[in-house]
């Protein structure tokens, strides 16, 4: 199977208009475990494993977020879905925005969760280099041990931290390295975000130190129809820390379709 024909493995729930949930780094579709089923009461919810992660980890991983976005388009083709609502969490948001730029007619709504539209700063690019060195020399578990303290609100519930750690440490080095390169090299898509005329939403955990509240609020304020929902008791990963609140925010937004 060549990369140009590969369709992503996915979990699927419900029936109706399609919502595509795009996972964060360095996780896989299982991070939507507490979100996908409740969201699927009124729609079809599809949660893929991006190439290089989860059940796609044996596939050669894309080195660009654009290629990840095209994987999503092929997966929608395979599902006979012309148009979907996209929800991307952090890295998933970078990919969802690339999808909106490359396949604009296929996006009904776009929600960025704890994500951003801009490119990596120089400091963030050098952080990627350090992360790649850690993965190459010590593995994904060592990388995640360094990331973990910044991912959660203070005093996180073990049920949330345990779930996300178990998913992260199961990822392979190759996929993680490729994703680090893809995120480092992604372009600034602020203009794409600002030009969107479809309904958009920003969601962010109150305690997110990676993509802070002020950044998401500004992104929402500058968008055509943007709104920003702040989730209390969550940091960067509301899918695990406050799934009910995330479902409520997404459900209200997606219902408008």
What tokens were used for 188? 């600034």
CA–CA separation, 105 and 196 (whole Å): 11
**Binding-residue pattern over the window 97 to 136 for ligand MLT, x denoting contact by CB under 6 A:** ----------------------------------------
CB-side exposure of 61: number of CA atoms within 13 Å? Answer: 25
Tell me if 236 sits within 8 A of 114, measured CB to CB.
yes
CB of 210 to ligand MLT, least distance (A): 5
- In the complex with ligand MLT, the residue whose CB is nearer, 25 or 144, is 25
CB-side exposure of 123: number of CA atoms within 13 Å? Answer: 0
CB of 32 to ligand MLT, least distance (A): 13
Place of tokens 């604009």: 104
Number of residues that bind ligand MLT (CB under 6 A): 7
**Binding-residue pattern over the window 67 to 96 for ligand MLT, x denoting contact by CB under 6 A:** -----------------------xx-----
Chain residues 165-224 in contact with ligand MLT, contact rule CB under 6 A: 183, 210
Strand order in the sheet with 18-22: 10-13, 44-48, 18-22, 84-89, 107-113, 200-205, 227-231
Contact call for residue 32 and ligand MLT (CB under 6 A): no
For 170, list phi and psi in degrees, rounded to 5.
-85, -5
* Residue 35: closest CA among 250, 257, 256, 210: 250
Q: Which of 21, 24, 204, 247 binds ligand MLT (CB under 6 A)?
A: 24
CB of 184 to ligand MLT, least distance (A): 9
What tokens were used for 128? 């990627």
Contact call for residue 25 and ligand MLT (CB under 6 A): yes
State the residues that interact with ligand MLT by CB under 6 A: 24-25, 90-91, 183, 210, 236
């Amino acid at each position: 199977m060549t990369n140009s024909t590969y369709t992503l493995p996915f979990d699927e729930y419900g029936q109706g208009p399609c919502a595509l949930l795009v996972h964060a780094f360095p996780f896989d579709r299982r991070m939507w475990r507490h979100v996908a089923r409740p969201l699927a009461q009124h729609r079809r919810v599809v949660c893929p494993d991006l190439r290089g992660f989860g059940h796609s980890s044996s596939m050669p991983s894309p080195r660009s977020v654009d290629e990840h976005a095209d994987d999503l388009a092929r997966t929608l083709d395979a599902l006979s879905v012309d148009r979907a609502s996209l929800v991307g969490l952090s890295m998933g948001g970078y990919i969802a925005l690339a999808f909106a730029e490359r396949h604009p007619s296929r996006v009904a709504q776009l929600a960025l969760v704890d994500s951003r539209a801009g490119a990596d700063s120089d400091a963030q690019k050098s952080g990627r280099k350090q992360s790649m060195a850690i993965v190459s020399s010590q593995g994904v578990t060592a990388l995640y041990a360094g990331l973990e303290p910044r991912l959660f609100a203070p005093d996180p519930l073990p049920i949330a931290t345990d779930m996300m750690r178990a998913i992260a440490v199961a990822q392979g080095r190759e996929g993680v390295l490729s994703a680090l390169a893809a995120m480092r090299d992604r372009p600034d898509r602020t203009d794409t975000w600002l030009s969107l005329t479809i309904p958009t939403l920003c969601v962010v955990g109150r305690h997110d130190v990676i993509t802070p509240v002020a950044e998401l609020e500004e992104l929402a304020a500058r968008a055509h129809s943007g709104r920003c929902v702040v989730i209390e008791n969550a940091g960067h990963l509301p899918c695990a820390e406050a799934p009910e609140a995330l479902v409520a925010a997404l459900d209200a937004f997606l219902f408008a379709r």
